[in-house]
């Protein structure tokens, strides 16, 4: 299996060398690794260039875009900038963050599972962050079954079928739901523990929380599901403002009639799938 990885990067000077070293140390290295530096103001690109000089399968490119660092469309735009430089010869395509440390057997185990399960569309390990006691704990932004945006791989077939990655916040939720809609298996491997050096959202503009609410609307969750999702995040992070800002974003998107990310049929599947999981956890 040919394996291509894209890393959109922005001001990751403090982390990218360790991140790329964990790629170099893999028992099964990617066939190509493309770092797409997005307007960084630090030495991120220079560090990436140094790795590309030492390893022929690593490439670094600089992307000039707007300076505001926001989740969603900006990240995906940079991902596709990186993908435009791919040789296009891949069976598995991955989108990774520039602040993760992979266990040495990460890709070996991932590839093994794709080979074992022909219907596997998406696969990843689990993401861990350091708590105040410097212990590595599961990042509570989602359940362990959810395939996280910083470390995910797609089969080429699945990637094409779901229409690639949506240029919107919430892309790393809707892609997994669409994979299920198209009958692809999705899998997280508990033993593959990835260290996330910078917790999700730490560098986001405050308006990003409202964008999360907008994403729930654009995924056709409906108000009740959106409320429960926002409430869960608010409880997980012990932050009452999350609920308020998510719902404000949802209401804004509905009032403006923002375009949906999924069709009516796909949205119906997403709602049914979410409610089924909620009932399963309650009963």
CATH number at residue 80: 3.90.550.10
Which residue, among 54, 48, 57, 45, has the nearest Cα to 5 in the 3D structure? Answer: 57
Q: Is residue 47 pLDDT above 90, yes or no?
A: yes
Say what the pLDDT of residue 94 is. Answer: 97
**28-37, 131-140, 201-210: which has the minimum mean pLDDT?**
201-210
Separation of alpha carbons 216 and 222, rounded Å: 8
Task: Based on the fold, state whether residues 185 and 220 are members of the same structural domain.
Answer: no
Q: How confident is the model at residue 204 (pLDDT cuts 50, 70, 90)?
A: very low
For the stretch 217-227, pLDDT in tens is 999 999 999 99
Indicate the length of the chain as a whole number.
Answer: 283
Rounded mean pLDDT, 176-205: 86
For the stretch 222-256, pLDDT in tens is 999 999 999 988 887 788 888 999 999 999 999 99
Residues 55 and 23 sit within 8 Å (Cβ to Cβ): no
Task: Based on the fold, state whether residues 153 and 70 are members of the same structural domain.
Answer: yes
Mean pLDDT of the chain: 91
Answer yes or no: is 203 within a domain. no
Element (H, E) at 7: strand 3-9
Copy the structure tokens of residue 238: 């012990």
Task: Based on the fold, state whether residues 139 and 161 are members of the same structural domain.
Answer: yes
Residues 153 and 184 sit within 8 Å (Cβ to Cβ): no
DSSP state, residue 274: H
Task: Based on the fold, state whether residues 75 and 49 are members of the same structural domain.
Answer: yes
Say what the pLDDT of residue 62 is. Answer: 94
For the stretch 57-116, pLDDT in tens is 999 999 886 655 555 678 899 999 999 999 999 999 999 999 999 999 999 999 999 999
Task: Based on the fold, state whether residues 156 and 28 are members of the same structural domain.
Answer: yes
Give how far Cα 280 sits from Cα of 188, 274, 283, Å: 19, 10, 5
Task: Based on the fold, state whether residues 216 and 192 are members of the same structural domain.
Answer: no
Q: Which residue has the tokens 């654009």?
A: 218
Answer yes or no: is 202 within a domain. no
Q: Is residue 26 pLDDT above 80, yes or no?
A: yes
Q: Is residue 179 pLDDT above 90, yes or no?
A: yes
Answer yes or no: is 201 within a domain. no
Element (H, E) at 232: helix 223-236
Question: The whole model's pTM is what?
Answer: 0.89
Say what the pLDDT of residue 203 is. Answer: 46
Which phi and psi (to 5°) does residue 93 adopt? -120, 130
Task: Based on the fold, state whether residues 192 and 213 are members of the same structural domain.
Answer: no
Task: Based on the fold, state whether residues 182 and 69 are members of the same structural domain.
Answer: yes
Q: How confident is the model at residue 198 (pLDDT cuts 50, 70, 90)?
A: confident
Task: Based on the fold, state whether residues 7 and 41 are members of the same structural domain.
Answer: yes
Say what the pLDDT of residue 140 is. Answer: 74
Q: Is 71 exposed, middle or buried (0-12, 13-18, 19+ CB in 10 A)?
A: buried
Domain count, the chain: 2
DSSP state, residue 258: P
> What Rg, from alpha-carbon coordinates, does the chain have?
18
Task: Based on the fold, state whether residues 43 and 90 are members of the same structural domain.
Answer: yes
Task: Based on the fold, state whether residues 49 and 125 are members of the same structural domain.
Answer: yes
Domain that holds residue 119: 3-196
Residues 23 and 102 sit within 8 Å (Cβ to Cβ): yes
Which residue, among 151, 35, 150, has the nearest Cα to 82 in the 3D structure? Answer: 35
For the stretch 127-175, pLDDT in tens is 999 988 889 998 877 778 889 999 999 999 999 999 999 988 889 999 9
Answer yes or no: is 140 within a domain. yes
Answer yes or no: is 73 within a domain. yes
């Amino acid at each position: 299996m040919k394996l291509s990885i894209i890393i959109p990067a922005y001001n990751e000077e403090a982390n990218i060398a360790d991140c790329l070293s964990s790629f170099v140390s893999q028992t099964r290295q990617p066939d190509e690794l493309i770092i797409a530096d997005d307007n960084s103001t630090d030495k991120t690109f220079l560090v990436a260039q140094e790795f590309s000089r030492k390893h022929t399968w690593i490439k670094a490119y600089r992307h000039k875009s707007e300076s505001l660092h926001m989740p969603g469309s900006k990240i995906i735009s940079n991902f596709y900038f990186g993908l435009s430089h791919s040789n296009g010869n891949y069976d598995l395509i991955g989108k990774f963050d520039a602040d993760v440390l992979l266990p040495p057997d990460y890709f070996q185990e991932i590839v093994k599972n794709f080979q074992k399960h022909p219907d596997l569309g998406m696969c990843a390990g689990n993401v861990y962050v350091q708590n105040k006691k410097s212990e590595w704990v599961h990042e509570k932004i989602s359940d362990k079954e959810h395939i996280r945006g910083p470390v995910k791989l797609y089969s080429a077939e699945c990637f094409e079928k779901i229409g690639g990655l949506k240029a919107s916040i919430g892309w790393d939720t809707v892609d997994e739901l669409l994979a299920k809609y198209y009958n692809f298996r999705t899998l997280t491997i508990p033993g593959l523990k990835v260290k996330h050096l910078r917790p999700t959202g730490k560098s986001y503009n405050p308006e990003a929380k409202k964008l999360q609410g907008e994403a729930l609307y654009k995924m056709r969750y409906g108000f009740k599901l959106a409320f429960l999702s926002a409430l869960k995040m608010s409880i997980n992070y012990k932050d009452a403002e999350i609920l308020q800002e998510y719902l404000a974003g949802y209401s804004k998107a509905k009032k403006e009639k923002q375009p949906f990310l999924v069709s009516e049929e796909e949205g119906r599947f997403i709602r049914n799938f979410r409610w089924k999981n909620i009932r399963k956890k309650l009963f």
